[in-house]
A and B are shown apart, each in its own frame.
Chain A
Amino acid sequence: MNELPDKALLPAGMQDGLPPEAANEARAAQTLVSQFDAWGYARVKPPLLEFEENLLFGTGQAVAEQAFRVQDPVSQRMMALRPDMTLQVARIAHSRMSHSPRPLRLAYSGQVVRVKGSQLRPERQIGQVGAELIGATGAGADVEVILMAVEALESLGVTGLSIDLGLPTLSPAVIAGLALKPQVLRSLKTALERKDAAGVSALSDALGAGATAALLAMLNAVGPAKAAMNKLMNLKLTPDANAQRTHLAQVVDGLLAARPDLTLTLDPVERRGFEYHTGVTFALFARTVMGELGRGGRYEAGNNGHREPATGLTLFMDMVMQALPAAVATPSVFLPFGTPPQAAKKLRTEGWRTVQALEQTSDAEAEARRLGCVHVLEGGTVRTLKNNA
């Protein structure tokens, strides 16, 4: 008898999806990919397992530590369970779809598995829905992907969205050319991650006056996008970094022009989680949910031989669901024993959800209530049960 609780225990970060939440999440994921499809993003379906070197090569190195690995008994090579789907879609784009016209718009929906959860988000299996726009360089591509994410989430009923734009390549550009010791780099990374101005100032001896002032100005620019962009514009940058800043400014302008109502913030020092990104990035938040609903940004698809500019977005279904009202079960009609199959079919085509009695019962109404039905079929018509509507 004590075997059952043991079998119900799942590995940390794994859970069973139950009714009605499981159906609700699947429906939401479907709505999101349909929205992406309406924007011209065609669905692809990458596999759960891939050879490690394909999945974790190049830009994939950033997520390598998140991947479960297993040896393929067939080829004897190491395989990895996908910890993220962006890389798979990028692989499809530069292999099987390398001859498809650019810009290439692809969408996906599926489950990913990670070796470790975090304290705040212990889940190790997460539903991802996303889209990638491959082979487009301009700021218009970034604006399209972000606006599409906003529209798709709003179509689900998510409110109070805010978007945080980042440029993770800017701080490396500012300190490029300075020969910094690994210890200084580590301290600087921590200070920037924490938005700790005092921590940056403490490193001013190693950084020099110019870089320190620039980094402090970037930290000071964290906040609402318009004011932040003005502050960033005062920075003296190398031509390369300046081009990136111009791109960011165009994205800000594009977004504010299309959706002046959006809460748009800027964080020019944020780098965590954007390890493989090469330009403008973004994270999506909703006021009622602690943590990101999704994120995305600029990266380079392809391998060393052939690289293409790309931008994409990933939504995390566990977080998206937290931004939505709690799931409610779809109301069902109880069909008493012996209801003709044709009558049942007719109800279903009319949009009803039916629950057929499989045995004769004395009290159809009580049985309907026991099974959680809100309606019962009586004499060919659907009657709503009292104080249950």
Chain B
Amino acid sequence: MDTTQNDKLVLALPKGRILEEVMPIVRRAGIEPEADFDNPKSRKLAFSTNHANIDIIRVRSFDVATFVAFGAAHLGIAGADVLMEFDNPEIYAPVDLKIGYCRMSVAESKELGDEDDPSTWSHVRVATKYPEITKKHFASRGVQAECIKLNGAMELAPLLGLSKRIVDLVSTGATLKANGLVEVEVIAEITSRLAVNRTAWKTRPDEIGHWIERFREAVDAKAS
């Protein structure tokens, strides 16, 4: 077995807009990626850092959860929405990074919302990127949810008759409003979390504990 590979800690970071909010915290925690990380022309997916034993990978946010669950990455940063949807017992989420604030909500068209009484539902059809969270949420209220999995532009579903309702992330509500939708129920408040692989934490408690502490300090430093 290649022990150097095995000894390196891998930190998985989410691609996309959220990365702009994530990087200041990563840097405050004392991790500085190589120059290529900020070079948009670079095709690299894995980056070395100022710590010889830490590498960074950049993947889609849902894949952060997969990499951490399987231990391919030891640490990761992902939204609570992703971790809830993935709901894997091998992932711990010990630090709230207090970035990426939004909420997971049920929304429907304004006309429907005006006369709708959610307490009378027995079966709903919902378009969402989060079928597991949606099913669980409705099941806990005794409502059977038939989910249509979409990967984006959920707001189109009610407009085009795919489903009357959607479950999606809402931050300002501007997108909902622009598409004639109203928020009817909040499922959960969402922020980004530091995710930790369970086995990594148990077998390398000092190292992982050290980095959890650094991230916690980085969040507190920002808050104060």
B-side contacts of A290, CB under 8 Å:
70-71, 90, 197, 199
Q: Are A194 and B69 in contact (CB under 8 A)?
A: no
Tell whether B202 is near chain A: CB-to-CB under 8 Å: yes
Q: Report B52-103 residues with CB < 8 Å from chain A CB.
A: 69-71, 83, 88-96
**In the complex, A364→B95 CA distance in Å?**
67
**In the complex, A27→B91 CA distance in Å?**
33
Tell whether A224 is near chain B: CB-to-CB under 8 Å: yes
Q: Are B96 and A197 in contact (CB under 8 A)?
A: yes
Nearest CB of A to B31, in Å: 20
**In the complex, A120→B201 CA distance in Å?**
17
Q: Are B199 and A285 in contact (CB under 8 A)?
A: yes
**In the complex, A263→B93 CA distance in Å?**
22
Q: How large, as a class, is the contact surface on chain B? A: 20 to 34
B-side contacts of A160, CB under 8 Å:
203
Q: Are A287 and B203 in contact (CB under 8 A)?
A: yes
Taken residue by residue from 140 to 182, chain B's Cβ proximity to chain A (1 for < 8 Å, 0 otherwise) reads as 1000000000000000000000000000000000000000000
Taken residue by residue from 271 to 296, chain A's Cβ proximity to chain B (1 for < 8 Å, 0 otherwise) reads as 01100000000010111111110000
Q: Give the most central of A186, A198, A285: most B CB within 10 Å.
A: A198
Q: Are B199 and A194 in contact (CB under 8 A)?
A: no
Interface size on A, residues (CB 8 A): 33
A-side contacts of B206, CB under 8 Å:
224
- Chain B minimum-CB-distance residue to A197: B94
B-side contacts of A171, CB under 8 Å:
none
**In the complex, A120→B71 CA distance in Å?**
10
Tell whether B204 is near chain A: CB-to-CB under 8 Å: yes
Nearest CB of B to A44, in Å: 31
Nearest CB of A to B82, in Å: 12
Tell whether B40 is near chain A: CB-to-CB under 8 Å: no
**In the complex, A273→B90 CA distance in Å?**
12
Q: Report B183-199 residues with CB < 8 Å from chain A CB.
A: 189, 191, 193, 196-197, 199
Q: Are A195 and B205 in contact (CB under 8 A)?
A: no
Nearest CB of A to B197, in Å: 8
**In the complex, A164→B208 CA distance in Å?**
15
Tell whether A162 is near chain B: CB-to-CB under 8 Å: yes
Q: Are A198 and B96 in contact (CB under 8 A)?
A: yes
How many A-B residue pairs have C-beta atoms within 8 angstroms? Tell me.
72
Q: Are B6 and A224 in contact (CB under 8 A)?
A: no
B-side contacts of A197, CB under 8 Å:
94-96
Q: Are B202 and A283 in contact (CB under 8 A)?
A: yes
Beyond A119-B88, A223-B209, A263-B203, whether A195 also contacts B70 by CB under 8 A is no
Q: Give the most central of B71, B199, B201: most A CB within 10 Å.
A: B199
Q: Are A164 and B202 in contact (CB under 8 A)?
A: yes
Beyond A120-B70, A290-B70, A290-B71, whether A195 also contacts B203 by CB under 8 A is no
Q: Are B205 and A194 in contact (CB under 8 A)?
A: no
Q: Are A196 and B94 in contact (CB under 8 A)?
A: yes
Q: Are B89 and A193 in contact (CB under 8 A)?
A: yes
- Chain B minimum-CB-distance residue to A225: B205
Taken residue by residue from 34 to 59, chain B's Cβ proximity to chain A (1 for < 8 Å, 0 otherwise) reads as 00000000000000000000000000
Taken residue by residue from 153 to 169, chain A's Cβ proximity to chain B (1 for < 8 Å, 0 otherwise) reads as 00000001010100000
A-side contacts of B223, CB under 8 Å:
none
**In the complex, A273→B198 CA distance in Å?**
14
B-side contacts of A194, CB under 8 Å:
83, 91-94
B-side contacts of A212, CB under 8 Å:
none
Chain A interface residues toward B at CB < 8 A: 118-120, 160, 162, 164, 183, 186, 193-198, 202, 219, 222-224, 263, 265, 267, 272-273, 283, 285-292
Q: Sample 26 A-B pairs with CB under 8 A, ordered by A number.
A: A118-B89, A120-B90, A160-B203, A162-B202, A183-B140, A194-B83, A194-B91, A194-B93, A195-B92, A195-B196, A197-B94, A197-B95, A197-B96, A198-B95, A198-B96, A219-B94, A222-B94, A263-B205, A265-B205, A267-B202, A286-B203, A287-B204, A289-B199, A290-B197, A290-B199, A291-B199
